[in-house]
Amino acid sequence: MDTPTNQPDLSQPVGKGVRRIQLMDIVPDCEIFVNTEIYDLADICAGKDVVDIGCGFGRNRPIVESKGGRWVGVEPFEGGAHMVKGDAENLPFENETFDVAIMDAVLEHVPQVHKSFEEVARVLRPGGIFIGYVAFMECFHEISYSHLSFKAMEHYSNVNGLKLEKIQGGHRFGIDYHLNVLLHPLPFKHFRGLVAWKIRAWIKLKSKMAWIKLRFRQKKSAAEASTYADLWYKMECLRLSNGFTYIIRKPNT
C-alpha cells in the first residue's frame, strides 16, 4: 500500500518513469460513497420529465410515476405506450427535452459510449441530471462492449459539458461477482453479501494500517492521516467494485 511522503509534483506528467502515480492523480472530482445509496429514484424524478434509456420492459416506470414523474422509455425495439423506438447513440428527441435521464446497467452495452454521453447532454435541460448504474468489474457480463471505470465516467462527463457529482461503489465487488458466475449453479449468490462485507472490512483494516504509518512514521497530523486513510479506503473500494451508481449533472447556463 502506497502512502504519500509529500505532495506530488503535478507539474510533471505521470507514467514513463517521470514520477509515480499518487492517490490524488486518480481521485475523481466528486463525492465518493461506499455501500450507500446516493439517490431515491421516485424522489429524484418527482414531477420531472424523465427519459429511461435502455428501459427494457419498463420496470422503472411505476417508480417514476409514483410521485408525478412523466416517464418515456427508449429501446431499439417496438414497445408499449410511452416507449419510443430508438438507441442511446441517436436519441429521437429535441434538444433540452428532459429533466432526468436514466441509464441503468446500459452504458456497458452501448458500442459508442461517447455518443451516448453526447446525446444525454443534448436532451437534458440545464440543471438536469443523468443517473444510473454502470458495470465495471464484470468480465462475464453478457454482450458488453466496455467496462467503465470511475475515471472514464468523469472523463466522458467533462468532455460533454457535464459534471460527475456523486459516485457510489463497494456494495458488491468483482471478486464475489466472478465467484458467483464460476460456481453456478451452486447457490453462492446467497453468500455474496457476506463476501463483500469481508472485502470492505479487509480494505478498512489496511486503511487503518496506512493511518498508523502516516501518523507515526511520517509524522502527519492525526487529521491529515485520517483524511488520507479515509480517501484511500474509498478509492480501493471503487477500484475493486462490481460497478458504480452515479449522479451526473448538466450545469445551469
Helix, strand, coil percentages, rounded to 5, for the chain: 40, 20, 40
Residues β-bridged to residue 74: 53, 84
State the Cα–Cα distance between residues 121 and 250, nearest whole angstrom.
7
Quick count: other Cβ atoms within 10 Å of Cβ 78?
A: 8
- Taking only the tens place, the pLDDT of each residue in 139-150 is 766 788 888 999
Per-residue pLDDT for 220 more than 60?
A: yes
Scan for cell 427508449, then name that residue.
74
CA distances from 82 to 52, 105, 201 (A): 10, 20, 45
- Taking only the tens place, the pLDDT of each residue in 65-124 is 999 999 999 998 877 667 899 999 999 999 999 999 999 999 999 999 999 999 999 999
Q: What is the mean pLDDT of residues 133-142?
A: 82
- Taking only the tens place, the pLDDT of each residue in 11-68 is 555 555 566 788 888 999 999 999 999 999 999 999 999 999 999 989 999 999 999 9
Domain ranges (residues) in the chain: 29-185+238-249
Sign of CA dihedral 86, 91, 93, 99: positive
- Taking only the tens place, the pLDDT of each residue in 153-205 is 999 999 999 999 999 999 999 999 888 888 888 888 889 999 999 999 999 99
pLDDT (0 to 100) of residue 13: 57
Evaluate if pTM is beyond 0.85: yes
- Determine the Cα angle at 246 with ends 243 and 251, to 5°: 155
Per-residue pLDDT for 6 more than 50?
A: no
Quick one: fold of 29-185+238-249? Answer: Rossmann fold (3.40.50)
State the Cα–Cα distance between residues 150 and 51, nearest whole angstrom.
23
